[in-house]
């Protein structure tokens, strides 16, 4: 199985429109990550000197200090590391929207790499630390500039 098999895609937004649009920093360091999401791929840095995965992107490997760690594609599979059910609007466009669930997940194919996202589905459902989740590429093609978020949902039982 390649990392790109069986990806889930949606143009439905979990959160209301009006939140700030994520864009790569001006130095381009995180561009491979954001551009990868637009192509339904999860790209994280994978040091070719020592094999360490890291995210967010940095100019050096935090383990061995090698410069310019390259990006590798990893499968959008993870386990819930931490979570929060948010009730209070942290932005005007979230007024009256809550609750919603924010998760920190750890990628199964990139040990130690954790990412933030929303847990799709019923915001009042139980959230289980360690449960398997799969990435959902939430595309916003009409935004200026267009962008994609990586969201998460429980892996369907086999």
The footprint of Zn ion (CB under 5 A) covers 47, 49-50, 52, 61, 63-64, 66
Report the nearest approach of Zn ion to the CB of residue 45 (Å): 9
Nearer to Zn ion, 52 or 148 (CB): 52
Report the nearest approach of Zn ion to the CB of residue 61 (Å): 3
Nearer to Zn ion, 45 or 118 (CB): 45
Nearer to Zn ion, 43 or 150 (CB): 43
Per-residue 3-state assignment (H helix, E strand, C coil) for 72-111? EEECCEEEEEEEEEECCCCCHHHCCCCCEEEEEEEECCCC
Report the nearest approach of Zn ion to the CB of residue 150 (Å): 24
Report the nearest approach of Zn ion to the CB of residue 47 (Å): 3
Are 103 and 83 a contacting pair, CB within 8 Å? yes
Q: How many CB atoms lie within 10 A of CB 88?
A: 8
Are 110 and 44 a contacting pair, CB within 8 Å? yes
Report the nearest approach of Zn ion to the CB of residue 50 (Å): 3
Nearer to Zn ion, 54 or 118 (CB): 54
Q: CA–CA distance from 123 to each of 5, 73, 88, 100, 116 (Å)? A: 27, 30, 14, 5, 16
Nearer to Zn ion, 60 or 102 (CB): 60
Beta strands in the chain (DSSP E): 8-10, 42-46, 53-54, 71-74, 77-86, 100-107, 114-118, 132-140, 147-154
């Amino acid at each position: 199985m390649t990392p790109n098999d069986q990806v889930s895609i949606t143009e439905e937004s979990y959160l209301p429109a009006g939140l700030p649009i994520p864009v790569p920093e001006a130095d381009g360091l995180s561009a491979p990550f954001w551009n990868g999401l637009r192509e339904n791929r999860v790209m994280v840095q994978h040091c070719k000197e020592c094999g360490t995965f890291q995210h967010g992107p940095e100019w050096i490997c935090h383990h061995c200090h090698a410069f310019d760690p390259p990006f590798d594609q990893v499968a959008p599979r993870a386990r819930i590391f931490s979570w929060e059910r948010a009730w209070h609007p942290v932005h005007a466009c979230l007024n009256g929207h809550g609750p919603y669930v924010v998760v920190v997940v750890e990628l199964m194919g990139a040990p130690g790499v954790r990412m933030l996202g929303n847990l799709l589905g019923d915001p009042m459902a139980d959230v289980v630390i360690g449960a398997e989740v799969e990435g959902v590429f939430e595309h916003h093609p009409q935004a200026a500039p267009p962008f994609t978020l990586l969201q998460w949902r429980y892996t369907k039982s086999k």
